[in-house]
Amino acid sequence: MSLSRRDWLRQTVTAAAGFCTSGASWADPERTAPANEPVRLGVIGTGVRGKYLIGNLPCAFRVVALCDCATSRMDETLRPKGDFAPLLARFCETDAGTCARYLDYRRLLDRERLDAVVIATPDHHHVLAAMHALQAGLHVYLEKPVSVSIREGRLLADLVRKTGRVLQVGSQQCTMEVNRFACEFVRTGGIGRVTQVDLPNYPGPLAVPALPEEAVPPGLDWDLFCGPTPTRPHNTRLWVKDMFKVDGLLWRGWDLFRDYSGHMMTNWGAHSVDMVQLALGKDDTGPIEIEDRPGKDLRASWKAHWASKSPGPVDDREQRFWPVVMRYADGVELRFVHDPDHVVFHGAKGRLRMRRNFFETDPPDLVKNRPDPKLAEAWKGAGHVARPHLQNWLDSIRTGSVLNAPIEAGHRTATICHLANIARELARPLRWDPKSERFTNDADANALLDRPRRKGFELPV
């Protein structure tokens, strides 16, 4: 495991009162700026997550431009209502009045003088937008999951290393002190030799269905939304997320469909796998065997745990709900098999159960010196709190300090999630070489490491 995430004791989260103070001078001599000058930021993607990130920004950032293929999303950001009004109050008082607006982030990168970008688009735009920003010399905060395919994630990680820019993956649990303490406790033998890790059995994505064509709303560039994926007739269900219900389900839009996302496996799964990789010291590697297990009573499990997040299975043959078991070279099993919201580490001395900002051990007295409960206070909220994680990115930009969620770790996490979905799709055991990032026994599986990209949205390699 790389030092960047192992040595959690070196990482401290700046107190809330310090978020509006400037840090040291810029570390990169080619991009020096006085410490009292703001970091000029563009925000690409102004949906729910983009708004939360703007509202969580340290005051050292100045948002100079917004970008979204739907002008309505930018309007809602500049003139927020409801729960977003207090969240974006400071932004509206300071930066909103002078923000430039763009439909196409490529125009934003061409025309604006920026230092950094936040990327909070749907997943299928993550890598291309990040690569273009890196090539423009910008630092990047990229929402998780890193990618929609394993190959594009590797290409992005290689480009980060080549350009020397600072890319933070938006997995804020990697900065949460409680989680980092628990991971370090496991990694250093606190529960003894780990033999098994149980994770929730996150559903995989659906194929894009044949939906009736609807008129494209004013202000939406539908071609830009499709981006590298095949163009198809517009339908609101394909892209609008968390805005309406379908058959009682709060509809997740693009997050449901394989063209645009890996669904819950890459969405929530990325948070859990991040913790597993960190705790096992495997941020630069991955499993060597992947096997899906035919499902049993899938509909009952769906009703109990996933009915608010994903359309239900028709029967037990629906592979996107099947459990998946992976094995690392040292024999540790990673099991996407259970439904509660905890990750459970099984060791020779006992167990550790973890979720966001929380852990407990069995037996309870395994941990003698727990982290100060006050450290958890900075993360109180509805799961959208990212202030300390954004501060960690800012600190790394300005001083070269260690990132808590670097690209290699984020890519390896996304890879495990993709491996689970590929195993389900093919419904057979697979062997994986984490060094070459290829399957060793299956040409069909290797064909799924990448995806065709529509002309005009090719990766710049």
Over residues 189-238, the pLDDT tens digits come to: 999 999 999 999 999 999 999 999 999 999 999 999 999 999 999 999 99
Predicted local distance difference test score (pLDDT) of residue 28: 43
DSSP lists the bridge partners of residue 290 as: 326, 430
Domain extent, residue 51, equals 3-175+383-406
174's tokens: 């990697």
Neighbouring CB atoms inside 10 A of 369's CB total 7
- pTM (2 decimals)? 0.92
List helix spans (H) across 46-104: 48-55, 71-78, 84-87, 89-94
Closest CA to 117 of 61, 72, 77: 61
The single residue listed with the structure tokens 């004013």 is: 218
In a domain, 113, yes or no: yes
pLDDT of residue 283: 96
Instruction: Examine residue 371 and say whether the peptide bond preceding it is cis (omega within 30 degrees of 0).
Output: no
Give the bridge partners for 63, in sequence order. 41
In terms of DSSP bridges, do strands 438-439 and 430-433 run parallel, antiparallel, or are they unpaired? antiparallel
d(CA 340, CA 201): 9
Q: How far is CA 53 from CA 208, 244, 326, in A?
A: 29, 23, 34
User: Rounded CA gap, 340 and 344, in Å?
Assistant: 10
Question: pLDDT confidence of 340, banded at 50, 70, 90?
Answer: confident
Name the packing angle between helices 71-78 and 48-55 (round to 10°).
Answer: 30
- pLDDT grade, residue 155 (50/70/90)? very high
Given strand 343-347, what is the order of strands in its sheet?
358-362, 351-355, 343-347, 194-200, 333-338, 324-327, 289-292, 430-433, 438-439
Concatenating the DSSP letter of every residue in 329-348 gives TTS-EEEEEE-SS-EEEEES
Amino acid 35: pLDDT: 62
Whether 78 and 92 have beta carbons less than 8 Å apart is answered as: yes
Q: Look at residue 4 and tell me whether its pLDDT is greater than 90.
A: no
pLDDT over 90, % of the chain: 86
14-23, 124-133, 217-226, 429-438 — which is least confidently predicted?
Answer: 14-23
| Cα separation, 205 vs 200, whole angstroms | 16
Task: Find out whether the peptide bond into 323 is cis, omega within 30 degrees of 0.
Answer: no
Query: Residue range 54-72: average pLDDT?
Result: 97
Give SS3 for 57: coil
Q: Is the pLDDT of residue 344 over 70?
A: yes
Q: What is the mean pLDDT of residues 322-337?
A: 97
Residue 302 forms part of a structural domain: no
pLDDT at 34: 47
Is 240 domain-assigned?
A: no
Using an 8 Å Cβ cutoff, are 430 and 442 in contact? yes
Instruction: Please state, for a pLDDT cut of 70, what percent of the chain lies above it.
Output: 92
Instruction: Check: CB of residue 439 under 8 Å from CB of residue 289.
Output: no
- Output the pLDDT for position 13: 30
> pLDDT for 404-434, tens place per residue?
999 999 999 999 999 999 999 999 999 999 9
What pLDDT is stored for residue 12 in this prediction? 31
Task: Give the number of domains in the chain.
Answer: 1
Residue 83 lies in a domain: yes
What average pLDDT does the structure give for the chain? Answer: 91
Name the pairing type of β-strands 167-169 and 430-433.
Answer: unpaired
The predicted structure's pLDDT at residue 10: 35
pLDDT of residue 397: 97
**281-324 pLDDT tens trace:** 999 999 999 999 998 899 999 999 999 999 999 999 999 999 99
Q: Is 76 a residue whose pLDDT tops 70?
A: yes
Per-residue confidence (pLDDT) for residue 7, from 0 to 100: 42
Across the beta sheet with 100-102, what order do the strands follow? 100-102, 61-67, 39-44, 116-119, 139-142, 167-169
Whichever domain contains 152, its CATH number is: 3.40.50.720
Per-residue pLDDT, 383 = 60
Residue 382's pLDDT band (cuts 50, 70, 90): low
Residue 229, token pair as written in the block: 């994926």
pLDDT digits 0-9 by tens, 251-267: 999 999 999 999 999 99
Q: Exposed (0-12), middle (13-18) or buried (19+): which is 405, by Cβ within 10 Å?
A: buried
The pLDDT assigned to 14 comes to 32
- Any domain includes 128: yes
DSSP string, 422-455: HHHHHTS-EEEETTTTEESS-HHHHTTSS----T
- Asked whether the predicted pLDDT for residue 177 surpasses 90, the reply is yes
138: helix, strand or coil: coil
